[in-house]
Amino acid sequence: MRRRGVIALLGGAAAWPLTMARADKLYRIVILHSGFPRRTPIDHLFDALRERGYEGGRTAEIELLGAEGNPDRLKELTARIVSERPDVTIAVTTPAAVGLKKASVLTPVVFVFVSDPVGQGIVPSLAHPEGNFTGISYSETKIGSKRLELLLVAVPTAQRMAIIWGSGFPENAAIASAVEAAAQTRGLPVLSRKIVEPDDLTPAFDDAVRFGAAVLIFLTDNLFFGHREEVAHLALSHHLPSIHSFPPEVQDGGLMSYGADLEEGYQRAAALADRILKGGASPADLPVEEPTRFNLAINVQTAKALGLSVPPTLLALADQVIE
């Protein structure tokens, strides 16, 4: 449900075979997610493809592959894609796109939810991607600074903060550094804590409290996205108001999230895939796009549990309010 209402997380979509008929062959679309796609609102992508005529079991063959945060499994899946040569691959998240690039896939790739594809070596430029990769990108460093701003609106008395970031997304280190720099310009001391395994979570939160942090920015990755409830519980038990990247993290108990709108990202990825499949466009001629919509979600129940009164001005900005 959009804006100012209680929302429900859409369940993950099953991978089902389907095909889109054309005169000489059947289109084949592979969706490669580096994490656990069924734990995400991947239904939005299937819906977006269906709206463009690629419907399960009837008009296209679509396969959903999840690497489950395992680098070895990701290599196996990218090697399979190289071998099977689907008509287009939709790569969801940076590790999926980088994995396909390293595997030297030759068929078209549309990526989504990828920060800094130029810096990651996926494309040489956003305006002229060249090669067989294009997609949707966004500046996570700018978004990271916005998250800090929103968090300080919610907790204006904060004098110290923590950043806990998962190492599974290569961009998280740069985002954490950018947020730290933005905090320092405000005179706000920062603890930046890298986490690798689930066992790192509790010690990281303990460190944040010992540091005296009053607020937290949590940067998830594929592994820790699957531990959303544990992260939310730790934030609450350590009395750390937190802001996250994705609405599902707020639906599972985090205080706030801010990031590129998931539905728009999937819609635009499907549109680019459609231009390649039915329009005959080359990815090299399709500039990498940037999001136009950003989503702010607030869990007012979590705010109450933390003893916070969310300012009405902040609630008025929210796209999703979870009661």
SS (H, E, C) the chain: CCCCCCCCCCCCCCCCCCEEECCCCEEEEEEEECCCHHHCCCHHHHHHHHHCCCCECCCEEEEEEECCCCHHHHHHHHHHHHHHCCCEEEEECHHHHHHHHHCCCCCCEEEEEEECCCCCCCCCCCCCCCCCEEEEEECHHHHHHHHHHHHHHHCCCCCCEEEEEECCCCCHHHHHHHHHHHHHHCCCCEEEEEECCHHHHHHHHHHHHHHCCCEEEEECCHHHHCCHHHHHHHHHHCCCCEEECCHHHHHCCCCEEEEECHHHHHHHHHHHHHHHHCCCCCHHHCCCECCCCEEEEEEHHHHHHCCCCCCHHHHHHCCEEEC
What is the structure's pLDDT at 174? Answer: 87
Would the pLDDT of 15 be above 50? Answer: no
Residue pair 93/223 in contact by the 8 Å Cβ criterion: no
Structural domain contains residue 10: no
CATH code, domain carrying 218: 3.40.50.2300
Calpha distance 288→112 (Å, rounded): 10
Structural domain contains residue 121: yes
Q: Based on the domain organization, do 200 and 256 belong to the same domain? A: yes
Structural domain contains residue 242: yes
**Burial, 172: exposed, middle or buried (Cβ in 10 Å; 0-12, 13-18, 19+)?**
buried
Token pair 């609450």 is found at: 236
Q: Based on the domain organization, do 241 and 144 belong to the same domain? A: yes
282: domain range?
A: 20-138+262-292
Q: Based on the domain organization, do 183 and 307 belong to the same domain? A: yes
Residue pair 162/216 in contact by the 8 Å Cβ criterion: yes
Report the percent of the chain where pLDDT is more than 90.
80
Q: Based on the domain organization, do 255 and 279 belong to the same domain? A: no
Residue range 20-27: mean pLDDT, rounded: 56
Q: Based on the domain organization, do 315 and 208 belong to the same domain? A: yes
Structural domain contains residue 146: yes
Report the percent of the chain where pLDDT is more than 70.
91
Q: Based on the domain organization, do 266 and 312 belong to the same domain? A: no
Q: Based on the domain organization, do 197 and 314 belong to the same domain? A: yes
What is the structure's pLDDT at 56? Answer: 74
Q: Based on the domain organization, do 174 and 305 belong to the same domain? A: yes
pLDDT band at 18 (very low <50, low <70, confident <90, very high): very low
Q: Based on the domain organization, do 118 and 170 belong to the same domain? A: no
Structural domain contains residue 13: no
Q: Return all residues near 80 (Cβ < 8 A) that are at least 6 apart.
A: none
pLDDT band at 171 (very low <50, low <70, confident <90, very high): confident
Structural domain contains residue 11: no
Residue pair 180/162 in contact by the 8 Å Cβ criterion: no
What is the structure's pLDDT at 25? Answer: 59
Q: Based on the domain organization, do 308 and 176 belong to the same domain? A: yes
Q: How much is the mean pLDDT over the chain? A: 90
Structural domain contains residue 50: yes
pLDDT band at 115 (very low <50, low <70, confident <90, very high): confident
Nearest CA to 183 out of 163, 208, 165, 204 is that of: 163
Residue range 91-96: mean pLDDT, rounded: 95
The structure's pTM equals: 0.84
What is the structure's pLDDT at 143? Answer: 84
- Domain count of the fold of the chain: 2
Q: Based on the domain organization, do 169 and 108 belong to the same domain? A: no
Residue range 135-152: mean pLDDT, rounded: 87
Q: Kindly report the number of other CB atoms within 10 A of residue 309's CB atom.
A: 10
pLDDT, tens digit, 9 for 90 and up, residues 265-303:
999 999 999 999 999 999 999 999 999 999 999 999 999
Strand order in the sheet with 161-166: 190-195, 161-166, 215-219, 242-244, 256-260, 294-299, 320-322
pLDDT band at 142 (very low <50, low <70, confident <90, very high): confident
What is the structure's pLDDT at 204? Answer: 98
Calpha distance 270→187 (Å, rounded): 43
Q: Based on the domain organization, do 184 and 46 belong to the same domain? A: no
Would the pLDDT of 70 be above 70? Answer: yes
Would the pLDDT of 23 be above 70? Answer: no
Structural domain contains residue 191: yes
